[in-house]
Chains A and B, each alone.
Chain A
């Protein structure tokens, strides 16, 4: 209901704005001070097959024709102005802005925009009804342990639209009553409605993609008061926004036979944010400027919680420690910039930035239930019973930057930065990173310029890497002190602590202790940027850019996680403008990236089944089970285009071509793996030599060629014609696996335990013809 009201309000607002613009146009047309243009036309698209990718942000996914309507109108009379600017008004991604006011005194802006988002052209699901917050299976639907066993799936699968519409409205007003004061006020609102795909866990070996209803709104109000003199300026700014989700959760019937019949997901909760910012700057003297910003922001959320499970034994809100999380995060920022020119040739900037994210949410013990099974809340001695943790982050950064003009043709640049980040409940308490950089810009008369910048950064943990920091905070003391814990092990009576001193649960880990999470791991980063600009003649510019970033995660060859990462890109740009009205440009960018990920299997094998305790506990250090994935990305992007004016500027011909092709190759190394065989509900394992298979090359390819022309029929009337040829291809074996259907193309899957909703991204070959008539004032 609210969704429809919101959408109706939006459409009404747009209609009013368009009517206002159209009504104002004739009046303005005959008024002195009027200028601008209106473009009216039509476009026709034809595709080899329907494609959501083609219409990803336009809403046009199949053969279609639509009205082209763009406008850019401005009326100025003395200091008074009124303007309207619109684009794509005949499509679902229309944007319209109106503005008016008096120069130097006040202004009013109204903006409206829509952005569609298509996820799939041929989505299929067995769920019936309106696809609201309760998804039902059709009568007679045969549930199964795999999609293949769902024998009615093919017949029951139906096509559904998986797409969202984003509508944004923004109204802002400013007043400058005199030279020194400025007041700003604005309100903005966006809403997103439709359906999106969302995965949902069924069991450890099955998942269902749900067509989840989206009905979200964000509304904000903001105000600012500014004051400035020649010596300095101050501004106080406030923003309050609240987010409302009118589809707060979704329940669904499980098409699989495993574990439970009714699933439930809690979708994004309503939330609120308030931000108060005070900023100011002072020109301490003609060469020194101090700029300061202090901000305090508060995020809150207090949505009522759902029960632990839909299953009868845990479906009771009284079992929860709290009815709602009463969550609050306070975020503080302080930024100080001091910029100075001690001499005419030297400029120095020092910056200090401090940021603190203070999570004030109370921590509670939640006795979780895995999936929506019938279980009662987990015992406090169980690993499932864990505390919700309020994580804090504090970051301080100090940077000094200097630019020195050594001569008319040479500039030198140097910078040093120190960043300290402190975190709670992570494997390191604090990281420190120091970055040193330097560069030179050398000009060679008016013919060439070379820039070279290098940087070296070193990040390290201030304390040791210890995943126990998280583990021991998450779990109950009852769990941590129970030597017979880890209930999934058949040999529960074995006392691990006494058998394996130092490896008992009190001193254990959430992750493999050899893993280093890449965002906090010790790292050496080297960066090189080289730019060369050539001006061989007055009408030719050639630019070359090379960028290389090398990351080395340090600490020893036995460590796991991201290890070596290299990214290189090289670009060549050419721009040629031999005379007025003639321009040709082109560029090509080649990017290559590679990284290695090291892993060690100690998972399912070590956790469940008939392994010995030694296997289980020492599994994390069994290097027989090491594996590595080597990723290589190769991406080529290119563009070519130009424009040519002829017949005394009456005819303009233009062409533009964009091309992008990406290839990802992933190869693997592994010697041994535990392999699991599932027979019914019985698992059996064996540690066997393996031959791994490299991933088939993953590719995407996009190209777009636009050829067009404009002919001035009269001085003020321009005829435009053009064609756009587009192509998109992609191949990803992991996604394309869903296309090998035993039953239904998208809704079923060759990967028999994922009931998918949308298949691979749609390839397309498209042709769009367009014709326009533009009138200019």
Chain B
């Protein structure tokens, strides 16, 4: 009798163990219910192609279950109750789920150079997950500009200002300058400094010049707002104000340029104010160019 009880307990345990062991259902089983995902072209995405056709390791070869985990129980219990989703890795983009989602994605993506600093990034520290921006089941993985603008509302507003880079024209995007996955540089820039980013398209400004303008070498953002401005040339202030914030030397530099007709028509105030004469303001290579006039 005792032996019979032991056998019964062992059998029961075996049944329970069998139910808890990973059991895969296969992608075709998933598609039976998740038709929309199949129709959206998951198989043609980079994920779909690699997992189905060039899986590195047996896990990737599992297709849907490579990310979502063993789904047999989920498939078997689907429709039984609303808790069915608990039997599968759930990528619901909730704050408490963010770390888990990111960990799952980084299993493969952490080795890529552009995600190296993800863990230290502003987005990660704010509790965002990969699923906050990316959709995995369709498309090419690119994130539309609108996604960035949904949180960075001030930058969205600045894009519509009179002086702007060609972002609203669709010729540039946030990721031309920023790496949303974080970087070793400031403000998640793709390069280490603001200047390094600007030099990618404005190499003529990088010098080194015979006569360097100190704040220019330190940061283009000392004077410019790259996201847009109501002042010309993306300047943070009107030109004469900008210059007089740092320069009130002898001579005309400390004069008041107000709204009187004479001042407005002064060579030092009209058109581009100081830059009418000091036009090589980013640096000069002329032996007489210390004041950036030549």
Q: Which 7 A-B pairs have the closest CB atoms?
A: A228-B111, A201-B277, A695-B259, A751-B265, A637-B157, A662-B230, A335-B184
Binds A, one of B2-10, B69-77, B280-288: B280-288
B237 touches A749 (CB 8 A): no
B285 touches A279 (CB 8 A): no
- Does A295 interact with chain B (Cβ within 8 Å)? yes
B207 touches A327 (CB 8 A): yes
A305 touches B271 (CB 8 A): no
- How far apart are the CA atoms of A341 and B98 in the complex, in Å? 14
- Does B34 interact with chain A (Cβ within 8 Å)? no
A658 touches B214 (CB 8 A): no
A199 touches B275 (CB 8 A): yes
B208 touches A371 (CB 8 A): no
A517 touches B245 (CB 8 A): yes
A599 touches B256 (CB 8 A): yes
Question: Per a CB cutoff under 8 Å, which of B110, B206, B244 touches A597?
Answer: B244
- Does A35 interact with chain B (Cβ within 8 Å)? yes
Q: A408-B96, A695-B259 are in contact. Are A320 and B245 (CB under 8 A)?
A: no
> Which residues in chain A, 367-396, are within 8 Å of chain B measured between CB atoms?
368-372, 386, 388-389, 391, 393
Q: A103-B54, A329-B208 are in contact. Are A35 and B44 (CB under 8 A)?
A: yes
Question: Per a CB cutoff under 8 Å, which of B119, B260, B267, B280 touches A289?
Answer: B119
B171 touches A57 (CB 8 A): yes
- How far apart are the CA atoms of A199 and B146 in the complex, in Å? 39
Binary CB contact string for chain B from 246 to 283 against chain A (1 if under 8 A, 0 otherwise): 11111111111011110111110111110111111000
Q: Taking the nearest CB of chain B, how far is it from the CB of A371, in angstroms?
A: 7
**Which partner residue on chain A sits nearest B146 by CB separation?**
A585
Number of interface residues of B (CB under 8 A): 104
Question: Per a CB cutoff under 8 Å, which of B260, B261, B265, B286 touches A692?
Answer: B260
Question: Per a CB cutoff under 8 Å, which of B116, B251, B286 touches A604?
Answer: B251
B206 touches A751 (CB 8 A): no
Query: In the complex, what residues of A have CB within 8 A of residue B119's CB?
Result: 289, 291, 337, 339, 349
B272 touches A199 (CB 8 A): yes
Q: A204-B252, A206-B267, A355-B193 are in contact. Are A103 and B162 (CB under 8 A)?
A: no
- How far apart are the CA atoms of A56 and B138 in the complex, in Å? 35
- How far apart are the CA atoms of A318 and B70 in the complex, in Å? 81
> Which residues in chain A, 287-330, are within 8 Å of chain B measured between CB atoms?
289, 291, 293, 295, 297, 299-301, 303, 305-309, 320, 325, 327-329
Q: A306-B287, A369-B288, A754-B270 are in contact. Are A597 and B241 (CB under 8 A)?
A: yes
Binary CB contact string for chain A from 197 to 209 against chain B (1 if under 8 A, 0 otherwise): 0111100111101
- Does B33 interact with chain A (Cβ within 8 Å)? no
Binds A, one of B16-24, B45-53, B81-89, B129-137: B45-53
B252 touches A631 (CB 8 A): no
Q: A93-B169, A201-B293, A658-B160 are in contact. Are A571 and B154 (CB under 8 A)?
A: yes
- How far apart are the CA atoms of A264 and B280 in the complex, in Å? 12
Among A443, A597, A749, find the residue whose CB has the most chain B CB atoms closer than 10 A: A597
**Which partner residue on chain B sits nearest A486 by CB separation?**
B250
A603 touches B251 (CB 8 A): yes
Binds B, one of A15-23, A41-49, A266-274: A266-274
Provide a sorted-by-A list of 19 A–B residue pairs whose CB atoms are within 8 angstroms. Answer: A93-B171, A207-B277, A269-B285, A289-B120, A301-B208, A303-B285, A305-B285, A337-B184, A339-B119, A388-B211, A411-B127, A413-B126, A511-B246, A604-B255, A629-B256, A633-B230, A666-B259, A734-B270, A756-B271
A571 touches B157 (CB 8 A): yes
Binary CB contact string for chain B from 166 to 196 against chain A (1 if under 8 A, 0 otherwise): 1011110000000000001110000011001
Q: Taking the nearest CB of chain B, how far is it from the CB of A720, in angstroms?
A: 16
Query: In the complex, what residues of B have CB within 8 A of residue A393's CB?
Result: 217-218
Q: A228-B111, A604-B252 are in contact. Are A693 and B260 (CB under 8 A)?
A: yes
**Which partner residue on chain A sits nearest B275 by CB separation?**
A199
- Does B1 interact with chain A (Cβ within 8 Å)? no
Query: In the complex, what residues of A have CB within 8 A of residue B280's CB?
Result: 265-266
**Which partner residue on chain A sits nearest B219 by CB separation?**
A519
> Which residues in chain B, 210-238, are within 8 Å of chain A measured between CB atoms?
210-212, 214-215, 217-218, 222, 230, 237-238
- How far apart are the CA atoms of A179 and B110 in the complex, in Å? 12
- Does A218 interact with chain B (Cβ within 8 Å)? yes
- Does A524 interact with chain B (Cβ within 8 Å)? no
Query: In the complex, what residues of A have CB within 8 A of residue B46's CB?
Result: 103
A411 touches B95 (CB 8 A): yes
Which applies to chain A's interface (DSSP): helix, strand, loop or mixed?
A: strand
Query: In the complex, what residues of B have CB within 8 A of residue A349's CB?
Result: 119-120, 125
- How far apart are the CA atoms of A403 and B160 in the complex, in Å? 34
- Does A89 interact with chain B (Cβ within 8 Å)? no
**Which partner residue on chain B sits nearest A366 by CB separation?**
B287
- How far apart are the CA atoms of A40 and B98 in the complex, in Å? 42
Query: In the complex, what residues of A have CB within 8 A of residue B278's CB?
Result: 201
- Does A510 interact with chain B (Cβ within 8 Å)? yes
- Does A58 interact with chain B (Cβ within 8 Å)? yes
- How far apart are the CA atoms of A694 and B259 in the complex, in Å? 5
Query: In the complex, what residues of A have CB within 8 A of residue B160's CB?
Result: 637, 658-660, 702
Q: Beyond the given A695-B264, A733-B264, A754-B271, please list 10 additional residue pairs across the A-B interface where CB-CB is below 8 A.
A: A56-B166, A166-B201, A200-B293, A293-B184, A335-B185, A401-B125, A543-B153, A561-B245, A606-B250, A694-B258
B209 touches A269 (CB 8 A): yes
A562 touches B287 (CB 8 A): no
A666 touches B238 (CB 8 A): yes
B95 touches A443 (CB 8 A): yes
Query: In the complex, what residues of A have CB within 8 A of residue B170's CB?
Result: 87-88
Number of interface residues of A (CB under 8 A): 176
B210 touches A601 (CB 8 A): no
B258 touches A607 (CB 8 A): no
Q: Taking the nearest CB of chain B, how far is it from the CB of A131, in angstroms?
A: 17
> Which residues in chain A, 249-286, are within 8 Å of chain B measured between CB atoms?
264-266, 268-269, 271, 273, 279-281
Question: Per a CB cutoff under 8 Å, which of A291, A405, A413 touches B120?
Answer: A291
Q: A103-B54, A224-B113, A403-B125 are in contact. Are A561 and B246 (CB under 8 A)?
A: yes
A512 touches B53 (CB 8 A): no
A325 touches B171 (CB 8 A): no
Query: In the complex, what residues of B have CB within 8 A of residue A543's CB?
Result: 150, 153
- Does B145 interact with chain A (Cβ within 8 Å)? no
Q: A76-B44, A104-B50 are in contact. Are A751 and B270 (CB under 8 A)?
A: yes
B125 touches A301 (CB 8 A): no
Query: In the complex, what residues of A have CB within 8 A of residue B252's CB?
Result: 204, 603-604
- Does B56 interact with chain A (Cβ within 8 Å)? yes
Q: Taking the nearest CB of chain A, how far is it from the CB of B113, in angstroms?
A: 5
- Does A115 interact with chain B (Cβ within 8 Å)? yes
**Which partner residue on chain A sits nearest B54 by CB separation?**
A104
A603 touches B254 (CB 8 A): yes
Q: Taking the nearest CB of chain A, how far is it from the CB of B61, in angstroms?
A: 12
> Which residues in chain A, 16-56, are within 8 Å of chain B measured between CB atoms?
35, 53, 56
- How far apart are the CA atoms of A218 and B201 in the complex, in Å? 9
A333 touches B271 (CB 8 A): no
- Does B290 interact with chain A (Cβ within 8 Å)? yes
A662 touches B116 (CB 8 A): no
Query: In the complex, what residues of B have CB within 8 A of residue A58's CB?
Result: 169
Among A241, A349, A607, A738, find the residue whose CB has the most chain B CB atoms closer than 10 A: A349
- Does A435 interact with chain B (Cβ within 8 Å)? no
**Which partner residue on chain A sits nearest B272 by CB separation?**
A199
Query: In the complex, what residues of A have CB within 8 A of residue B275's CB?
Result: 199
**Which partner residue on chain B sits nearest A571 by CB separation?**
B153
- Does A186 interact with chain B (Cβ within 8 Å)? no
- Does B205 interact with chain A (Cβ within 8 Å)? yes
Query: In the complex, what residues of B have CB within 8 A of residue A206's CB?
Result: 267
B201 touches A190 (CB 8 A): yes
- How far apart are the CA atoms of A511 and B245 in the complex, in Å? 11
